[in-house]
Amino acid sequence: MGSVADAPSSVPRLDEAPRLDEALAVGSWSVAEQAAELERLQAHRSAIAAFECRLIAGLAGARADFFDTSIERGGERPASWSEGGLAGVGEFFVDELAQVLRCSVTEASVRAELALVLTRHLQATWAALADGRIDWPRARAMAAEVSEPVRRGDRTAVVAAVEALVLPRAMDLGVRALRTAVHRELVRLDEGAADRRRKEARDCADVTVRPLPDGMSELITLLPHETAVAIRETADVSARMAKEAGDARPIGVIRAEVLADLVLRPWDDSRPPVTAHLTVLSPLSALEGRRGGGPAEVDGQPITSAHLRELLGRLDALCPGGLQVPRGGSVDAALTDPVSGRLRAVVPIEELRRLAGRGCPDHPSGACGCPVLDRPVVADGYRPRRAQYRFVTTRDRTCRMPGCCIRAGHADLDHVLPHPEGATDCTNLCCLCRRHHRLKTHGRGWQFAMDADGVLTVTTPTGTTRVTRPPGLREPSADAPPF
């Protein structure tokens, strides 16, 4: 393999000045030096992105009322330009910006809004971007997640509080996980506003088609999250059944065909019945409609208490007799430490009722304080027990490799310290998707370590270290209200 400096180029040289890689003699660097320089380069890119945001915001300020039809000609100004992130910006500013950036008006509008949200409402995030302490994809994700509340004029103090809570751990989260964390705090700190936005967004539900090359198209369906997840799960379960029956086509092709068949042939009763699995995680406070705890979640996405009650009503899971198991489904209770958020136990709801009714077998009075429920015991062999699988998938929720967001239901339970040196115990098991399971097992130089709380540390062959925490586990210094 040739070095970077030896790579051929068909681009004609404009002068005899050496290229940057030639001037720095990159070809003579060690692998560790190249990796370290890549990390420094990301900091430079962050600084440039922050600089661009400042330039866009400065140009927007200079065009505050430039060619404003509401001033010059008495025209009606679009509401979206008179409130939120683009307040005080001339109506035609994005048209000028599009010409400067040589991009579409749509792209210019997005970049302008992100720049203004960062410089006006997420100033600590902008400063972190300028200093290279956060990268552009994560800064952009935070700005995009709060742009809707900002545009609607929700409380500025809430956005500032969300930033203070999420920014310190932003670089430890993948981009999707970071957006979820911002969303979770927006729901927790201002549930009323979040519920208003949800109801307004629900009225925008629609089905559209976007043509693609090679005779293909994207069918885009905007639906409430729980409905979209249930539809996808139904198609996925049917597709995997077909795969197990011998269908050799890629799983995605089968899944798309199943969905089309369900829509276009609803009368066909020859298909085997399937049940979609919907994962709902909720603190007791949300079930009871009380404020102060964290929001509930549906497949990893935070929802408000009102949304939760609507969903449980639709699932026929909240009944006069208490929380019931839906037909064809299951209900597990996940019990967490109220201070740290550490997962303590996961059991079927029927088992929880039985244990609560039985109490401590050694002290019938019930005043002893003996634990009757905790994390699953260590398994004797290699294969995890069902209770361990239930506990670890509930704790991890996705593949634990930093940056990966494949759901735990489609991941393997892997021994962090290989068996038999490492026990088949929840403190030595984590969810890894098939690719990252293979990487951990066969990749040279990779190191994985996990503590008793499930905090996973991954070190690359070049020495870069990344840490992921179970989604519900709080930082040791966090003083947010318990879930």
Q: Reduced to 3 states, what is the DSSP secondary structure of residue 284?
A: helix
Give the amino acid at 349: I
| Predicted local confidence at residue 315, as pLDDT | 64
pLDDT band, very low/low/confident/very high, at 299 (cuts 50, 70, 90): confident
The rounded distance, in Å, linking the Cα atoms of 117 and 113 is 6
Q: Does residue 101 form part of some domain?
A: yes
Q: For residue 250, tell me if it sits in a domain.
A: no
Return the pLDDT at 163. Answer: 95
Q: Helices 156-166 & 136-151, crossing angle to 10 degrees?
A: 160
Is residue 159 exposed (0-12), middle (13-18) or buried (19+ Cβ within 10 Å)?
buried
Task: Residue 169: give the domain boundaries.
Answer: 31-189
- The number of distinct structural domains making up the chain is 2
More confident residue, 324 or 168: 168
148 within domain boundaries: yes
Q: Is residue 276 part of a domain?
A: no
Structure tokens at 421: 């040196």
Banded model confidence at residue 164, pLDDT cuts 50, 70, 90: very high
Instruction: Choose one of 124, 158, 189: the last residue of a domain.
Output: 189
Residue 44 counted as domain residue: yes
Q: Quick check: helix, strand or coil at residue 37?
A: helix
Per-residue pLDDT at 345 exceeds 70:
yes
Mean pLDDT estimate for the chain: 82
Asked if residue 352 has pLDDT above 70, the reply is yes
Q: Residue 354's pLDDT is what?
A: 81
Q: Is the pLDDT of residue 289 over 90?
A: no
**How far is it, in rounded angstroms, from Cα 249 to Cα 391?**
33
Asked if the structure places residue 35 within a domain, the reply is yes
> Is 70 exceeded by the pLDDT of residue 270?
yes
Query: Does some domain include residue 219?
Result: no
Q: Is 90 exceeded by the pLDDT of residue 336?
A: no
Quote the pTM value. 0.76
Residue 205 domain flag: no
Question: Of 189, 213, 233, which residue is a domain's last?
Answer: 189
> How does residue 9 score in pLDDT terms, banded at 50, 70 and 90?
low
Convert the pLDDT of each residue in 203-213 to its tens digit. 989 999 999 99
In Å, how far from its chain's centre is CA 350?
31
Q: How far apart are the first and last CA of the chain?
A: 52
Where a domain ends, among 189, 216, 244? 189
**220-247: pLDDT as tens digits:** 999 988 888 888 888 888 898 898 889 9
Distance CA 145, CA 143 (A): 5
pLDDT of residue 456: 94
Closest C-alpha among 350, 330, 451 to residue 400: 451
